[in-house]
Structure 1
Amino acid sequence: MGNFLLIPILFIVLVVFISSFFVVKQQTAAIIERFGKFQSIRQSGLQLKIPLIDKVAGRLSLKIQQLDVIIETKTLDDVFVRLKVSVQYRVISEKVYDAFYKLDYPHEQITSYVFDVVRAEVPKMKLDDVFVKKDDIALAVKAELNDAMLDYGFDIIKTLVTDIDPDAQVKEAMNRINAAEREKTAAQFEGDAARILIVEKAKAEAESKRLQGQGIADQRREIARGLEESVDVLNRVGINSQEASALIVVTQHYDTLQAVGQETNSNLILLPNSPQAGSQMLNDMVASFTASNQIGEAMKNSKKKNANDEE
């Protein structure tokens, strides 16, 4: 009979002994209460408590945690916008007592402060300013939370405005505006490119005309020089300048006819082009030069006579 009672007793003692020990994980704090009253805070490792007297009232993580809060509010230009604010916080290891006993629902408390700050700051800004100054909003939220949550044993590490989502119609309008701006910019670049192309083409044409004119001038200069040399050669063999000029013109006439004959696709027509045209042209030119010389001599004699009469 005694042995049967001894087994349950030993079992109870073993259970009580085992329940005297508990393990606290890394980056965790355990709160020990004795008869409902705070007793101590235990850190990570194997810990000992008095069975049936002490109990683990709760555990708090000392790791950095993140809370995402979504707020809908209105901007200064009457645009409804949804903001997602991410709050990174942790329990201060030296203030585990305050974090456990002073605040039951830290998430709700942090959310309330975030709502309060965002709805106080965003209505002061236009929609474009909300995007530009989102870091200012995050800093305002962090400053407000730090002041409020420090007394409760929470340290606000960082706050981030991770998303700004305007009303769907506003986003569609913004997209149309952006598309129009991009099309305008593209049109300006295309216009600049076309203008540059026209200017460069005009410059190239002007340079081409200049070089063409210079080439024609050089060609005529060489032709005149060749004609001068031809006249000098003909003068040496007893042909005067008038006859030499007429002979050169006739020669060029026949050279031109020969060149035209070699071009099968030429549409050029020289008039007159009969076989007797060369002789007639030569006679007409010689007669023309002779008449011109006679008129010139007559005018000189007339001037001399008038000068003598005046004397």
Structure 2
Amino acid sequence: MSCCFCFVCPSEGSVAIIESCGKFDKTAYAGCHCVTPCFGQSVAGVLSLRVQQLDVRCETKTRDNVFVTLVISVQYQVQKEAVYDAFYKLTDSSSQISSYIFDVVRASVPKMNLDDVFEAKEEIAHTIKDELTKSMAGYGFLILHALVTDIEPAHKVKEAMNEINAAKRLRIAAAETAEAHKVTMVKAAEAESESKYLQGQGMARQRQAIIAGLRDSVRDFSTNIQDISSKDVLELMLITQYFDMLRDIGSSNKASTLFLPHSPAGLGDISTQIRDAFLQGNAAAGLQK
């Protein structure tokens, strides 16, 4: 009796399931294996032992009635010691894993608000992995990782969230701008106050120097020239300064039109007013002492 032989050569990272008369016989890993069809042997299928990834899109509703789509990526692998269970116990592993993912997502996400879904992404992924690990272990599958790779709200909801965030940032920017303007105004007011204070000090020193100079001039003039009173000397100096002032105003390019009494009587009134001012200032200084 002649016997027919054939060979099966699974690639690296895969395993072939060999049956004999429709019943599981053995597994054939990478390499060349002999199969005898005359004894009823045949290759029932090939399983990959590599890590596989399944991406699942799941749409659900949050507690605040916003529809959102979650993209979950699951990485899984057939356990080498449980090849029989993976091949014979489960017809479609992808559909089974997707069903468990839908069940977990639609049981947990509706309990959260939309903002909480983004914050609880790791928690959702951990729950999915735990549930898949428990349910798929009996079918010979090992769940390595479960990741929530994307959370997509409805387009209008996403635009509304962006507008809310933009309005919040604009409000913060307006508050910061107003605060900066306030600081600028306060600093400008402080600078102006300090400037006026320094100007006042300078003006006071200038007036003290003028008074001291006038006093020395009157004393020297009275000492060198006899038969002249201090009053006459002061009036002469005031008239001289008056004419100097008129000359300075006339030579200035930005001079304005001034109407001043320009007569001997007017000059006498001016000198009287200035002298009275000096007398009042000296009297006030004496009272303070």
TM range (shorter): 0.7 to 0.9
Select 2:73's aligned residue among 76, 86, 96: 86
Select 2:258's aligned residue among 248, 269, 273: 269
**1:238-257 matches, cutoff 5 A:** 238=226, 239-257=228-246
Q: Which amino acid is the alignment partner of residue 216 of structure 2?
A: E
Contact 1:76 1:125 in 2 (8 A): yes
| Percent of aligned pairs with the same amino acid | 47
Give, in angstroms, the shift of residue 121 of structure 1.
0.4
Point out the more displaced range, 217-226 or 115-124.
217-226
Select 1:31's aligned residue among 6, 14, 17: 17
In the alignment, is residue 107 of structure 1 matched against residue 94 of structure 2?
yes
| In 2: Cα distance, 1:150 partner to 1:105 partner | 15
| In 2: Cα distance, 1:59 partner to 1:221 partner | 112
Query: Scaled by the length of structure 2, what TM-score is found?
Result: 0.85
Contact 1:260 1:268 in 2 (8 A): no
In the alignment, is residue 258 of structure 1 matched against residue 247 of structure 2?
yes
Give, in angstroms, the shift of residue 145 of structure 1.
0.4
Give, in angstroms, the shift of residue 51 of structure 1.
4.2
Determine which structure has more spread, i.e. the larger CA radius of gyration: 1
Any idea what SS the aligned residue of 1:159 has? strand
Contact 2:238 2:271 in 1 (8 A): no
Contact 2:19 2:44 in 1 (8 A): yes
Question: How many aligned positions are there?
Answer: 272
1:217–1:284 CA distance, 2 compared to 1 (3 A): closer
Q: Which amino acid is the alignment partner of residue 96 of structure 2?
A: Q
| In 2: Cα distance, 1:243 partner to 1:42 partner | 136
Query: Scaled by the length of structure 1, what TM-score is found?
Result: 0.79
**RMSD value over aligned CA atoms?**
2.6
Contact 1:113 1:144 in 2 (8 A): yes
Contact 1:75 1:123 in 2 (8 A): yes
Corresponding residue of 2:36: 50
**1:1-311 matches, cutoff 5 A:** 16-17=4-5, 19=6, 21-53=7-39, 54-237=41-224, 238=226, 239-269=228-258, 271-274=260-263, 276=264, 281=268, 285=272
| In 2: Cα distance, 1:110 partner to 1:218 partner | 94
| In 1: Cα distance, 2:269 partner to 2:157 partner | 92
| In 1: Cα distance, 2:115 partner to 2:9 partner | 53
Give, in angstroms, the shift of residue 155 of structure 1.
0.9
Q: Report Cα offsets for 1:226-271 as digits up to 9, x if no partner.
A: 2222122223214433223222211211111111121143115252
| In 1: Cα distance, 2:57 partner to 2:124 partner | 14
